[in-house]
């Protein structure tokens, strides 16, 4: 147990739609698994099987309906994310837990470079260093320098996705949640992202990832778990 980074116990998520006369939609049910520090666990399964919902419950975007999300902090304190306050979660998001979604949420009037440098600036890195590291990251991801001072709203889907990844990987979190981060990328960019993820893993980041591409999932993951109709296949 010493090495467990995150342990999901009997986690379930049901959406109750009060405005549809209390209609209930179950996302997943009774899911349990654990991830050791520094490992890459891939979640496979068809669309709608509850993969992303599990990630969102861990990140706090969804409220878990029952079960536990036991998380081991950097200082070895253990907390249940399913019971943590919103403030606790926002602090963890700033320091420990990163999420890469499929889509970029562009901020108005914020350039690509600024967007990528921001996590570093928020962590107190001086601006010149933050800017330089952001430039290197964008360069590696093949975003040409003429786009750096452009607004990502006007970028192509693949460029937006790479800005999104750059933003998440620039400051390595301890736990990285990936929700199909490579779906809009061509092969060359995908392999850059893969090598970035492998580097992150090498430096000790624990990763839970959802990918549609089964070959990619097998290549990256130390362990693959499969979801079917909201349940974990054993």
Give the total of residues touching another protein (CB under 8 A): 36
Structure token digits, residue 56: 């969102």
Query: Could you give the string, one character per residue 77-116, with x where binding to another protein holds by CB under 8 A and - elsewhere?
Result: xxxx--xxxxxxxxx---------------xxxx------
* Cα Rg, the chain, nearest whole Å: 18
Least distance to another protein, CB of residue 16, Å: 8
Q: Which is nearer to another protein, 79 or 194 (CB)?
A: 79
Q: Which is nearer to another protein, 15 or 33 (CB)?
A: 15
Query: Which stretch of DSSP H or E encloses residue 56?
Result: helix 51-59
Rounded Cα gap, residues 132 and 168, in angstroms = 16
Q: Measure the N-to-C terminal CA separation of the chain; round to a whole number of Å.
A: 21
Quick check: 160 and 152 in contact, CB under 8 A? yes
Place of tokens 């440098």: 117
Least distance to another protein, CB of residue 187, Å: 32
Least distance to another protein, CB of residue 152, Å: 14
From residue 184, give the alpha-carbon distance in Å to each of 92, 159, 203: 28, 9, 26
Q: Which of 33, 36, 62, 95 binds another protein (CB under 8 A)?
A: 62
Quick check: 162 and 141 in contact, CB under 8 A? yes
Assess 121 for contact with another protein (CB under 8 A).
yes
Least distance to another protein, CB of residue 18, Å: 4
Assess 128 for contact with another protein (CB under 8 A).
no
Assess 18 for contact with another protein (CB under 8 A).
yes
22-26 own/partner pairs: CB under 8 Å, 24+ apart: 26/230
Assess 21 for contact with another protein (CB under 8 A).
no
Rounded Cα gap, residues 11 and 226, in angstroms = 15
Assess 7 for contact with another protein (CB under 8 A).
yes
Residues near another protein, by CB under 8 A: 1, 4, 7, 9, 15, 17-19, 56, 60-63, 68, 70, 72-73, 77-80, 83-91, 107-110, 121-122
């Amino acid at each position: 147990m010493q090495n467990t980074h995150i342990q999901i116990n009997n986690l379930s998520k049901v959406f109750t739609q009060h405005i549809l006369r209390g209609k209930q939609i179950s996302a997943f049910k009774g899911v349990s698994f654990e991830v050791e520090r520094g490992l890459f666990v891939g979640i496979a399964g068809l669309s709608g099987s509850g993969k992303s919902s599990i990630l969102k419950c861990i990140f706090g975007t969804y409220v878990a309906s029952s079960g536990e999300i036991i998380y081991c902090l950097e200082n070895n304190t253990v907390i249940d994310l399913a019971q943590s306050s919103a403030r606790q979660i926002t602090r963890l998001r700033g320091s420990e837990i990163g999420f890469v979604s499929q889509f970029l949420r562009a901020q108005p009037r914020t350039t690509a470079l600024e967007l990528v440098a921001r996590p570093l600036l928020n962590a107190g890195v001086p601006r010149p260093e933050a800017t330089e590291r952001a430039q290197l990251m964008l360069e590696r991801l093949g975003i040409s320098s003429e786009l750096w001072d452009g607004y990502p709203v006007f970028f192509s889907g693949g460029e937006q996705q790479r800005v999104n990844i750059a933003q998440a990987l620039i400051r390595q979190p301890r736990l990285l949640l990936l929700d199909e981060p490579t779906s809009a990328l061509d092969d060359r960019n995908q392999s850059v992202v893969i090598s970035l993820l492998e580097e992150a893993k090498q430096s000790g980041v624990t990763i839970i990832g959802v990918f549609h591409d089964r070959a990619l999932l097998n290549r990256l993951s130390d362990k693959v778990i499969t979801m079917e109709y909201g349940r974990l296949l054993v």
